[in-house]
Amino acid sequence: MKAPAPVRRRQVMKIARRVVLGLAIVLVLLIVAAFFMPRHATVSRSVEIAAPASVVFPMVGDLRRFNEWSPWFARDPAAVYTFTGPTDGVDQTMNWTSKDPDVGAGSMTVERIEPEKVVVMAIAFAGEGDAQATITLESTGALTRVVWRFDSDLGFNPIARYFGLMMDGRVGPDYERGLARLKTVAEAATPSGEAGPSSRPADASGPSQ
């Protein structure tokens, strides 16, 4: 024997209210949990190159040479790159735009530079916030260890903080490919006799400390 229609409607509404309340509680818990997650996302990779810093540094310190080893350049050959500012040093800027969502659009500007030691760049991703990239060179004779680091302030955006947990898995492989390419290009450009006796490939084991 079926329950009267008004009774069935009340039962359905009761179940619906419980479902909505349950979803609301889950949403609140997810938002609260996000504020206990790291505010900053950091990715770091390194490579040892059999080339002196004098050979490696021009490739990382001159944004007009960035695409010689960029992991994203080959992904979209149709991407458009423009350069503004000085040809070297602070304030040189590279702008890019691509229809490939993995390349996107944005700009990269050199904020600080120490010849043969470090390059710090501000990155602005169109519609996706800002970040900072730092390339550090540690030279030991004819060998150069290059550390490429990415830092992003996720602010108080709970969704951004959840994405921050996946940042290493998203950016890390690209950094490894870029450093491997930098190693190939720099070692090929090193005059015979200047290269070190050995070098290690890009570190794919995780962030450098």
pLDDT tens column, 106-118: 999 999 999 999 9
Which position has the token pair 């050199």? 110
Nearest to 189, CA basis, from 59, 35, 16: 59
Structural tokens at position 81: 């790159």
The DSSP bridge partners found for residue 115 are none
Hey, what CATH topology would domain 39-189 get? Alpha-D-Glucose-1,6-Bisphosphate; Chain A, domain 4 (3.30.530)
Which 8-state DSSP code applies to residue 2? P
Angle at 169 between CA 106 and CA 50, to 5 degrees: 80
pLDDT digits (tens, 9 = 90+) for 38-50: 567 889 999 999 9
Question: 118 to each of 115, 149, 179, how far by Cα in Å?
Answer: 7, 11, 15
Structural tokens at position 64: 């007009």
Residue 22 has a pLDDT of 73
The DSSP bridge partners found for residue 43 are 150
Confidence of residue 30 (pLDDT cuts 50, 70, 90): low
Please give the Cα distance from 118 to 42 (Å, whole number).
17
Please give the mean pLDDT across all residues of the chain.
82
pLDDT digits (tens, 9 = 90+) for 59-87: 999 999 999 999 999 889 899 999 999 98
Do residues 183 and 201 lie in contact, with contact meaning Cβ atoms separated by under 8 Å? yes
pLDDT digits (tens, 9 = 90+) for 126-165: 877 788 999 999 998 889 999 999 998 766 666 665 565 6
